[in-house]
Amino acid sequence: MSETIFTKIINREIPADIVYEDDVCLAFNDINPQAPVHFLVIPKKAIATINDITEDDRQVVGHLTLVAAKVAREMGIDQEGFRTVMNCNEFGGQSVYHIHLHVLGGKLLGWPPYTDKPKNLE
Ligand code: DGP
């Protein structure tokens, strides 16, 4: 797997607004926020997509959600609520091929997230 921009952030080769770090993961604010609060939680292990997660990654992937909740709590968005999203591949809207949990909050979010609603769902 080729190195992504997120590996460069982990290795401090490019800067990011880091909000949390431990041995397993890193959380930092999204460069292109889609809500008043929008940060990403990424594993330090480079896993390209959800399709590439293996049984060995159970702990790592579960840890991302625990950290999302912890940071959301610290940012004071836990009670009003927030959304976590992990995009997968092209139709899922994934642009960086190193899995990451988006955490979005700070206002009432719309649902569902279509840009163009498919005709069969109208
Ligand atoms: P996705 O489309 O699900 O792969 O989301 C990738 C997100 O990563 C997107 O919301 C923008 C963010 N992003 C891309 N490059 C950088 C970067 O260099 N720094 C930061 N902080 N975020 C980035």
Per run of 10 residues, the mean pLDDT along the chain (length 122 residues) is 91 98 98 96 98 98 98 97 97 96 92 75 70
The domain in which residue 83 lies consists of: 5-121
CATH assignment of the domain containing 84: 3.30.428.10
Q: What is the pLDDT of residue 21?
A: 98
- The answer to whether residue 100 is catalytic is yes
Q: What is the pLDDT of residue 74?
A: 98
Ligand 1 binding site (Cβ under 6 Å of any ligand atom) = 5, 16, 28-32, 40, 87, 93-96
Give the chain's domain count: 1
Output 27-36 pairs: Cβ under 8 A, ≥24 positions apart: 27/67, 27/68, 27/71, 27/103, 30/102, 34/102, 34/104, 35/104, 35/105, 35/106, 35/107, 35/109, 36/105, 36/106, 36/107
